[in-house]
Amino acid sequence: GRTPRLWFDKACLDQDDITRALPCLPIFIAGCRSLLILAGPTYASRLWCVMELFAYLKMGGRREAITVVPIAACATEEGLQTVSESLAAFDAQQARCVLPADRHHFLA
């Protein structure tokens, strides 16, 4: 086969069995040469999103290889600044997950 060009987390991780898929996340992310973040207004408040960014950097990803593209309500220079500021002020205790068990797992 050929080298994959794109790894899309939502499509590549089994969303119905996330507990089993989660340990593989750092391995998948370690294979990424760059990270594209499509950031909406809630990006920095969602623990899964920030955890993936953290894993990318911890697995050797370079900050300069991260591209943040604001979407929807953030699709302006001001919106991008807001996303950047919210990431800089990230507080895991304030972040949320759809499933309370995911939040508990991350913060344990």
Among the listed residues 102, 26, 25, the one whose alpha carbon sits nearest the alpha carbon of residue 59:
26
Whether residue 30 contacts residue 58, with contact meaning beta carbons closer than 8 Å, is answered with no
Mean per-residue pLDDT for 78-105? 82
**Quick one: which of 19, 56, 22 has its CA closest to 37?**
56
What is the arithmetic mean of pLDDT over 53-66?
A: 90
User: Mean pLDDT throughout 22-31?
Assistant: 81
CA–CA distance, 34 with 26 (Å, rounded to integer)? 14
Average pLDDT (46-54) is: 86
In this prediction, residues 61-86 reach a mean pLDDT of: 79
Three-point CA angle 98, 74, 33, nearest 5°: 75
